[in-house]
Amino acid sequence: MELWYTEKQTENLGLTCKTNNTLHVEQTEFQSMAVINTVQFGRMLVLDGMVQTTIEDEFVYHEMITHVPLNTHPNPQNVLVIGGGDGGAIREVIKHPAVKKATLVEIDRRVVEISREYFPEISCGLDDPRVTVIYDDGIKHVADHKDYYDVIIVDSTEPVGPAVELFSYNFYKSISESLKKDGLFVAQTESPFFNANIISECYQKISEVFSITKLYLANVPTYPSGLWSFTMGSKKYDPEAVDVSAVPDYPTRYYTPKLHLSCFVLPKFVAELIVP
């Protein structure tokens, strides 16, 4: 018998994957969580019915949400990841030679525990001596740490439940206060095809707080529409002005120094979402 899992990505469209088996299902304090072993993408982490990460395509998202901001800052020593309980962003952050301290603030302890158990390839960086894992609300954490981080990465779920405030103007303001005077941050900002309003609104709010605001794209097959956006807010450094010949050499599968620049080249319909 064949068993298939469908994420209803919109009212009218779903991503359907043939499964080998379901490895884990639970209701945590914050969200419903499942680990499904799919034939096409390998193990898949699902929160509240939405695919968060899969073994086969996780590298795209995790490399692009980390290496673009890290290589925009000339000396990213102290880095914060908000959300990201699967550990993929942290695994990438600690590849960067400048990073001395990486802090993960995840609201749901069970996401980290289940990722350690079922996704060792993704969570493997969490035990690195430079990494501290804190179970708390990212909003509270940034409010409590002023003028502290070089780079902040908001690796959040979609704007539902505990992540709603992670897409607010007040949160971006608080992030700015938590960054040092030349700091920068990036947030995942959803799909240009299906979440145009989220992209426009986030860009608008971030540009009210940060003098340099830039949108970039990557191709993530298991996320709705496959085309995914990230928005960077920066106090000083322009990601498109980086001397990419000086980007340190470390292993990646998607990110390259050339791609660092080309990912900011937007298709017309996406560029139109962020016209003031």
Q: Where do contacts with ligand SAM occur on this chain (CB under 6 A)?
A: 30, 47, 52-53, 61, 82-86, 105-108, 111, 137-139, 155-157, 162-163, 166, 188
Shortest reach from residue 60's CB to ligand SAM, in Å:
10
Element housing 223 (H / E): none
Nearest residue (CB) to ligand SAM, 93 versus 212 = 93
Nearest residue (CB) to ligand SAM, 139 versus 215 = 139
**What is the DSSP-derived secondary structure letter of residue 110?**
H
Picking from 232, 228, 231, 230, the residue whose alpha carbon sits closest to that of residue 191 is 228
Shortest reach from residue 162's CB to ligand SAM, in Å:
4
Backbone phi and psi for residue 40, each to the nearest 5 degrees, phi listed first? -80, -45
Give the separation between CA 118 and CA 108, rounded to whole angstroms: 16
Provide Rg for the chain, Cα atoms: 18
Shortest reach from residue 88's CB to ligand SAM, in Å:
7
Picking from 230, 227, 242, the residue whose alpha carbon sits closest to that of residue 274 is 230
Residues with catalytic roles? 155
Nearest residue (CB) to ligand SAM, 107 versus 270 = 107
Give me the residue whose beta carbon is nearest to ligand SAM: 83
Shortest reach from residue 131's CB to ligand SAM, in Å:
16
Nearest residue (CB) to ligand SAM, 157 versus 242 = 157
C-alpha separations of 143 from 106, 147, 170, 174, 269 in Å: 15, 10, 10, 6, 35
Q: Which string of b and e fits 131-164 if b means at least 16 CB within 10 Å?
A: bebeeeebbebbeebeebbbbbbbbbbbbeebbe
Q: Is 152 helix (H, G, I), strand (E, B) or coil?
A: strand
Nearest residue (CB) to ligand SAM, 99 versus 107 = 107
Shortest reach from residue 159's CB to ligand SAM, in Å:
9
| Tokens coding 100 | 């001395």
